[in-house]
């Protein structure tokens, strides 16, 4: 059984999200949005005013408030824990900052075998603020109806090992990740040591969230789409599986990546469900992944194109999702910051009544 929430009496109805992730089609289709915790919401911009991204993630009251805002406004079927893929690195003592207009910037990029040896001596530090935030979130979610259920699941979150390694090696966002891919090919021993450390860090961060009460987790791989299938299979997939294995059997595990249509079969290994980005139709993904619940995959650009462009596309995504044993409606990437919050609320209503 999935964990119950606080002192609340165990519910008779499993939330739609957890039904779908278990390979069922609930009466109410579950929907949530990647990057829903903020970005497009004016209340998010207000509470975060003057506070840096990583700092916001490490303030329990603020992280809890931001996590809950989209649930209150949109009535989505899951909360996604407000965090960032850089947070575990920060908690492990890595000097990283999120620079406006640039993204994550690592003060000392990891480029040599010596750099890797120095890095892997770091361990995940104090995570009490993560536990405190989740406890606050659970207290409200236990009394927030969603669909046919009497509580709303919280999804834990961590960056996948390759994405963490890519930022560590490149030092900042990169279009092609040449330095990371070069290390992978030229120094496989150091690469494997780096990836093992990243996998264990992500796995430990997921474990902290599940221990605190997360009902599901998602491993997010921003940059794996830059890899050839053979390189992903040999040098990356085992480490993503290692990260996911940290919470195996405890909660459903989602694995999502951008531009990863050619990697879906490998990404399904070690996961309970696979997120599909907007490039791959869900019925095609379902045919390639028989028996695997899917999540996705509304094109985020449709949120900015108006309801006339969004509605038929969303209905088509829902129709194609019936080919999978379970389907969680989501975007095929994150919510654009320019999105009108009202269109997200309207989209939730459409999904719930379809």
Q: What is the pLDDT of residues 34-50, one digit of tens each?
A: 988 878 999 999 999 99
pLDDT at 287: 98
Question: Does the pLDDT of residue 285 top 80, yes or no?
Answer: yes
Helix axes 128-141, 188-212, angle to 10 degrees: 40
- Place 9 in a pLDDT band, splitting at 50, 70 and 90: very low
Whether 235 is catalytic is no
Sign of CA dihedral 132, 90, 336, 208: negative
- Place 12 in a pLDDT band, splitting at 50, 70 and 90: very low
The torsion defined by the Cα of 194, 197, 202 and 208, in degrees rounded to 10, comes to: -160
Q: Give the pair of three-digit tokens for residue 230.
A: 């053979």
Lowest mean per-residue pLDDT among 139-143, 242-246, 298-302, 331-335: 139-143
Question: Does the pLDDT of residue 11 top 50, yes or no?
Answer: no
pLDDT at 151: 82
The torsion defined by the Cα of 260, 261, 263 and 265, in degrees rounded to 10, comes to: 140
Whether 167 is catalytic is yes
Measuring CA to CA, which residue among 104, 92, 94, 89 is closest to residue 52? 104
Question: Does the pLDDT of residue 335 top 60, yes or no?
Answer: yes
* CA separation, residue 256 to residues 105, 163, 187, 231 (Å): 23, 12, 27, 18
pLDDT at 145: 47
Whether 84 is catalytic is yes
- Place 109 in a pLDDT band, splitting at 50, 70 and 90: very high
Order across the sheet with 327-331: list the strands: 79-80, 154-159, 216-221, 253-257, 273-275, 294-298, 327-331
pLDDT digits (tens, 9 = 90+) for 184-201: 999 999 999 999 999 999
Question: Does the pLDDT of residue 138 top 90, yes or no?
Answer: yes
Q: Which residues pair with 257 in a beta bridge?
A: 221
Q: Whats the size of the chain, residue-wise? A: 354
Whether 278 is catalytic is no
For the beta carbon of residue 316, count every other beta carbon within 10 angstroms: 14
pLDDT at 101: 84
Selected catalytic residue, list 44, 73, 111, 167: 167
Q: Give the pair of three-digit tokens for residue 250.
A: 């405890």
pLDDT at 37: 80
pLDDT at 38: 76
- Place 10 in a pLDDT band, splitting at 50, 70 and 90: very low
Question: Does the pLDDT of residue 255 top 80, yes or no?
Answer: yes
Residue 128: CA count within 13 A, CB half-sphere: 1
Selected catalytic residue, list 35, 136, 250, 279: 35
Whether 228 is catalytic is no
pLDDT at 39: 82
d(CA 43, CA 28): 28
Selected catalytic residue, list 39, 73, 138, 181: 39
pLDDT at 143: 66
Question: Does the pLDDT of residue 147 top 70, yes or no?
Answer: no
Question: Does the pLDDT of residue 283 top 60, yes or no?
Answer: yes
pLDDT at 100: 83
pLDDT digits (tens, 9 = 90+) for 260-275: 999 999 999 999 999 9
pLDDT, mean of residues 91-109: 93
**Spatial CB neighbours of 75, under 8 Å, sequence gap ≥ 6:** 146, 345, 348, 352
Question: Does the pLDDT of residue 258 top 90, yes or no?
Answer: yes
**Spatial CB neighbours of 38, under 8 Å, sequence gap ≥ 6:** 44, 45, 48, 66, 69, 70, 82
Which residue carries 């949109």 as its tokens?
74
pLDDT digits (tens, 9 = 90+) for 41-94: 999 999 999 999 999 999 999 999 999 999 999 999 999 999 999 999 999 999
pLDDT, mean of residues 143-154: 62
Selected catalytic residue, list 73, 77, 84, 277: 84
Question: Does the pLDDT of residue 5 top 60, yes or no?
Answer: no
The torsion defined by the Cα of 196, 201, 203 and 206, in degrees rounded to 10, comes to: -160
**Domain 16-353 classified CATH 3.30.450.20?**
no
């Amino acid at each position: 059984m999935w964990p119950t929430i606080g002192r609340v009496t165990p519910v008779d109805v499993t939330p739609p999200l957890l039904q779908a992730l278990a390979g069922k089609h609930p009466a109410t289709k579950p929907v949530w949005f990647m990057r829903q915790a903020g970005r497009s919401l004016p209340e998010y911009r207000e509470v975060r005013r003057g506070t840096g991204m990583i700092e916001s993630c490490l303030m329990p009251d603020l992280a809890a408030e931001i996590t809950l805002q989209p649930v209150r406004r949109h009535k989505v079927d899951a909360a996604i824990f407000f965090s960032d893929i850089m947070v575990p690195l920060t908690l492990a003592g890595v000097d990283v900052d999120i620079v406006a207009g640039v993204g994550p910037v690592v003060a000392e990029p990891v480029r040599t075998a010596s750099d890797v040896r120095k890095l892997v001596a770091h361990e995940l530090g104090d995570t009490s603020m993560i536990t405190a935030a989740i406890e606050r979130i659970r207290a409200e979610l236990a009394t927030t109806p969603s669909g046919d259920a009497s509580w709303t699941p919280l999804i834990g979150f961590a960056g996948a090992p390759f994405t963490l390694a890519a930022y560590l090696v490149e030092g900042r966002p990169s279009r092609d990740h040449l330095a990371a891919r070069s290390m992978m090919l030229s120094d496989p021993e150091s690469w494997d040591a780096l990836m093992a450390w990243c996998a264990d860090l992500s796995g430990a961060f997921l474990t902290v969230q599940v221990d605190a009460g997360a009902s599901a987790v998602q491993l997010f791989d921003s940059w794996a789409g830059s890899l050839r299938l053979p390189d992903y299979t040999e040098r990356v997939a085992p480490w993503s599986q290692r990260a996911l294995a940290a919470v195996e059997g405890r909660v459903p595990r989602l694995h999502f990546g951008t531009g990863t249509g050619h990697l879906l079969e490998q990404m399904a290994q070690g996961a309970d469900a696979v997120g599909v980005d907007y490039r791959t139709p869900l019925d095609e993904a379902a045919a390639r992944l028989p028996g695997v619940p899917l999540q996705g995959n509304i094109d985020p650009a449709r949120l900015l194109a108006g309801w006339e462009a969004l509605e038929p596309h969303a209905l088509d995504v829902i129709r194609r999702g019936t080919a999978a044993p379970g389907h969680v409606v989501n975007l095929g990437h994150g919510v654009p910051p320019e999105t009108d919050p009202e269109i997200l609320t309207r989209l939730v209503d459409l999904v719930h009544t379809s």
